[in-house]
Amino acid sequence: MDGDGPALSAPEAAPAAPPAARRRRWVPLALLALPAAFLAAFFLHPLARIVGLGLAPEGSLELGVLGRVLTDESVRSVAWFTLWQAVVSTLLTLAVALPGAYAVSRMDFPGRSLVRAAATVPFVLPTVVVGSAFLALLGPRSPINAALEAVLGSGAPTLDLRRTVTAILIAHVFFNYAVVLRTVGGLWSHLDPRLEDAARVLGASRWQAFREVSLPLLRPAIASSAAIVFLFTLTSFGVVLILGGPGRATIEVEIHRATTQLLDLPLASALALLQLAAVLAALAVYGRLQRRATRQRLVAAAHAARPPTSRGERAFLAANLAVVALLLLAPLLVLVERSFAGPDGYTLAAWQGLFDTRDTVLAVAPGEAVRNSLLFGASATVLALLVGGLAASAAALGDGRASRLVDRALMLPLGTSAVTLGFGFLIALDTPPLDLRGSPLLVPIAQALIATPFVVRTLLPVLRSIDARLREAAAVLGARPLRVWAEVDLPIVGRALLVAAGFAFAIAVGEFGATVFVARAELPTMPVAIFRLLGRPGVANFGEAMAMSTLLAAITAAAIVMIDRIRVGQIGRF
């Protein structure tokens, strides 16, 4: 009888898991090996070097260095400009985009999906393209000045908003309009319209029904979108670098200047620390807003939108469509027009110049920058898919705590400014075994680091939706983990994988903030080439910059169109 006792109590004693179960338990940890090593080598290590150089430039802790930087009047002026332009940009974006979010989400009209897609394109455009577009739109040779001269004659005033705060603010609204439209409009399109209808029946005006019923439900989405816009404008680099003038530098621009012009690495490190603290504070606020998001009854988007019926509703819709056309499409159309404009009329000279082999300010033919961008972008996409795919798989297979930890860890590069990442590469990757300074590999690595969070966010919801019993059944039948992934996960996640690839490529090919630090002179990417062309005088250089900006905009827009065509449901929807 004594020998039977252990056998009878075996289920209560929780025996060791069978070998197959133990292997499955270790699978998430094994999948995390490469993402963890990638994050440690190319994010945490450069970040630690920035902290060390900012706080201990001579090898020992010197908080006085950071104190002197923070009390410097010029640094305080830069920090103040960075803060207030971000606040004003956020408020302006909300003021312009919230009516558009209502029009697109609650009004049913022909071409609504096309308007939503067109409004998203500016968000994924590289910042140098946005800067180039507004240089063409707000400069002295813009169509606006041509129209003024046609109406008022040769004595018409010349509008030139280059190197002004106004140009920066308008460009930020252009760039971030889609954030509010998609974030707030996405929720608005699923709110039950009968809630407001009930308030109207009880005697509330349209404004009262919105204020008392819809606004409290929308407030978390509005606050979250405002936090995202504030974060993007706080870390704005390309737009401010191209459109801003003396005295209008953000912390990002000042880090670039301290590194490339002043060769003052301790100053750049201290500024990077200041920037990092501001970004972490913004991310903390955003996370708090996300946790406070309300839960409400949602309906299908098709049931929430209604055709405009009254004259006021039709006028409201027309006004918002005009805003989309003037604010979002006009700069891009002017960009295309400027790429063909010459001193004596329209010409193909700028486009032909892209593939001219003569000596240029780029040290290589401009067409080489196109080839470099496509090659680096494709390499970065493969690397981001590998790292992000493994991380997303580990998060989906692991327990809740591990899943959240992986998800948050890989979001860190997204919340860190690209300039800080590029500067970290410059000072950290110069010693074995990571002696990569001057290597062309740094460009796709930097681009992949920024693109990986988008890959994780695209793949993770799909992987989490896969019924675990499918994997268990395949394992019971003897399939090893790799075959389980190939036979079960891959067919289901395949389309999301294509969406993630499209996002990663669009981000990589247009990345500027980090690439401008690490790109070699003889291997410029398209954004770096555009910046260098804009920095040199001459009609030919400006025309080539416009032509290359148009080409880069077309490449990123094509990636977004591809995403919209292949995505399923909400997967890949911004």
Task: Give mean pLDDT, residues 189-213.
Answer: 73
- For 460, counting Cβ atoms within 10 Å of its Cβ (0-12 exposed, 13-18 middle, 19+ buried), the class is buried
- The residues near 124 (Cβ < 8 Å, ≥ 6 apart) are 506, 507, 510, 556, 557, 559, 560
Q: What letter does residue 16 receive in the DSSP assignment?
A: P
Cα(208)–Cα(215) distance, rounded to whole angstroms? 10
pLDDT at position 82 over 70: yes
Banded pLDDT at 95 (limits 50, 70, 90): very high
Q: Note the pLDDT of residue 282.
A: 74
By C-alpha distance, which of 261, 259, 283 is closest to 271? 259
| pTM score | 0.74
Q: Note the pLDDT of residue 565.
A: 66
Task: Give mean pLDDT, residues 203-223.
Answer: 76
Cis check for the bond before 18: say yes or no (omega within 30 of 0): no
pLDDT at position 561 over 80: no
pLDDT at position 7 over 60: no
Q: Note the pLDDT of residue 337.
A: 85
Q: How many residues does the chain have?
A: 574
- On whether the CB atoms of residues 444 and 535 are closer than 8 A, the answer is no
- On whether the CB atoms of residues 105 and 189 are closer than 8 A, the answer is yes
Which tokens sit at 44?
């945490």
The predicted-structure confidence for 32-75, as pLDDT tens digits, reads as follows 788 888 888 888 888 888 777 767 766 666 666 667 777 777 88
Rg (CA), the chain: 26
Which tokens sit at 465?
């939706």
- On whether the CB atoms of residues 544 and 354 are closer than 8 A, the answer is yes
- On whether the CB atoms of residues 395 and 460 are closer than 8 A, the answer is yes
Cα(254)–Cα(247) distance, rounded to whole angstroms? 10
Q: Which CATH class is domain 68-330?
A: mainly alpha
Q: Note the pLDDT of residue 11.
A: 46
**What is the share, in percent, of the chain residues with pLDDT greater than 70?**
78
Task: Give mean pLDDT, residues 148-174.
Answer: 80
Cα(253)–Cα(244) distance, rounded to whole angstroms? 10
- The residues near 4 (Cβ < 8 Å, ≥ 6 apart) are none
Cα(388)–Cα(406) distance, rounded to whole angstroms? 10
- On whether the CB atoms of residues 429 and 387 are closer than 8 A, the answer is no
Cα(173)–Cα(170) distance, rounded to whole angstroms? 5
Task: Give mean pLDDT, residues 113-118.
Answer: 77
Q: Note the pLDDT of residue 88.
A: 94
- On whether the CB atoms of residues 133 and 335 are closer than 8 A, the answer is yes
Q: Note the pLDDT of residue 4.
A: 45
Single-letter amino acid code for the residue at 282: A
Task: Give mean pLDDT, residues 16-33.
Answer: 57
Q: Which of 16-25, 286-295, 464-473 reaches the highest mean pLDDT?
A: 464-473
Cα(313)–Cα(498) distance, rounded to whole angstroms? 39
- On whether the CB atoms of residues 275 and 252 are closer than 8 A, the answer is yes
Mean pLDDT for the chain overall: 76
Q: Note the pLDDT of residue 375.
A: 94
Lowest mean pLDDT among 17-21, 48-52, 525-529: 17-21
Q: Which of 76-90, 113-127, 363-377, 426-440 reaches the highest mean pLDDT?
A: 76-90
Cα(453)–Cα(451) distance, rounded to whole angstroms? 6
Q: Note the pLDDT of residue 374.
A: 92
Beta strands in 268-406 (DSSP E): 341-342, 345-346
3-state secondary structure 393-432: HHHHHCCHHHHHHHHHHHHHHHHCCHHHHHHHHHHHCCCC
Banded pLDDT at 349 (limits 50, 70, 90): confident
Cα(163)–Cα(168) distance, rounded to whole angstroms? 8
pLDDT at position 301 over 60: no
Q: In angstroms, how far is the first alpha carbon of the chain from the final one? A: 66
Task: Give mean pLDDT, residues 235-258.
Answer: 80
- For 131, counting Cβ atoms within 10 Å of its Cβ (0-12 exposed, 13-18 middle, 19+ buried), the class is buried
Lowest mean pLDDT among 3-12, 148-157, 245-254: 3-12
By C-alpha distance, which of 404, 567, 565, 558 is closest to 493? 567
Which tokens sit at 146?
């041509």
Q: Which of 14-18, 358-362, 466-470 reaches the highest mean pLDDT?
A: 466-470
Q: Read out DSSP for 495-511? A: HHHHHHHHHHHHHHHH-
58 CA to centre of own chain: 36
Cα(76)–Cα(470) distance, rounded to whole angstroms? 58
